[in-house]
Amino acid sequence: MPPFTKSDLIWFNGELTRWDDARVHVSAHALQYGTGVFEGMRSYDTADGPAIFRLDAHMRRFAASASYYEIEWPYSFEQLCAASLDVIRANSLDNAYLRPLAFFDSYSFNVWPKGCPVSVAIIAVPGRPYIQGGPERGVRVTVSSVRRIDAASLPPFVKACGHYTNSVRAVQEANRRGFDDALLLNYKGEVAEGSGANLFLVKDGRVITNDADASIVLGITRDSVLQIASDLGVPVDVRSLTLDDIAGADEAFFTGTAIEVTPITEVDGRPVGAGKPGPITLRIQQSYFGAVHGRLPQYHTWLAYTRQMQTV
């Protein structure tokens, strides 16, 4: 993702705070040990004003991640949903990327974070493509030498700050080698996901993706695409994925809040299918963007509007 553009205000510990005043001490437990959890959300412009895509689902996952690491929010679920909408309004944003974050703050260098206060922030910045031009032209990826974290050591389904050093290593390697992103294998040698996105393949008119047992994050965009594909009448298979599956795929694409629906056109120098965004990928992508921008009535329940929707 290109460098973000600062917004004016961040929701920080219950208040809208000027960007430069939202500070954390260097002794914060989360900075020392990675003990924080986060979400990624987007808002989009619609005919009824800005709306956050699947706010409730993202906040439920945020709560589940926090619970796993015993991070007790000092705010209610409803307060954080309202704060997410507030920070969009306060910064006069429409298409935006939001980053809710909860973490153990400064108190002790003990690995056990007992006694550390919990800080919560919701950051919103103008939204940009994760990989410039990716949704239109597709991206080139490489299979990483870095393996995806395994449930025997860390829960892959939790969006914890410290977990993402795994992804950092993979994408550093991929970028150094001239690729846009990485594909990570799990401990079984199966394909898991990208550095920050779920993977879908298309073969013989069927959409294929993997599940939690592949050491993936269960993406909100992934879930949305599964529903969209079903609504479009595209058959869906959920099963493990191998490198042979990728080699034989007609199409491939990433899904995620940041990357949205982005075609994969090449893996380690070999084209996927025709080496360009495929027809099923483009159909799903078109419906996805129709949904997030409020153009498809059947998906209006996925949108949380910053102002009350107009009624006829």
Other Cβ atoms less than 10 A from the Cβ of 112: the count is 9
Other Cβ atoms less than 10 A from the Cβ of 78: the count is 9
| Residue 120: its H or E element | strand 118-126
List of residues 6+ apart from 77 with CB closer than 8 A = 59, 60, 63
CB 2 within 8 A of CB 128: yes
Catalytic residue among 114, 159, 203, 276: 159
SS3 (DSSP) at 153: coil
CB 144 within 8 A of CB 182: yes
Q: CA-to-CA distance for 112 and 109, rounded, in angstroms? A: 8
8-state DSSP, 93: -
List of residues 6+ apart from 140 with CB closer than 8 A = 178, 179, 180, 264, 265, 266, 267
SS3 (DSSP) at 135: helix
**Is the four-CA dihedral 49, 128, 135, 83 of positive or negative sign?**
negative
276 classed as catalytic: no
Specify the residue for token string 């206060």: 117
SS3 (DSSP) at 158: coil
Q: CA-to-CA distance for 7 and 44, rounded, in angstroms? A: 16
List of residues 6+ apart from 134 with CB closer than 8 A = 180, 259, 262, 263
Q: CA-to-CA distance for 282 and 290, rounded, in angstroms? A: 12
Q: Which residues are catalytic?
A: 159
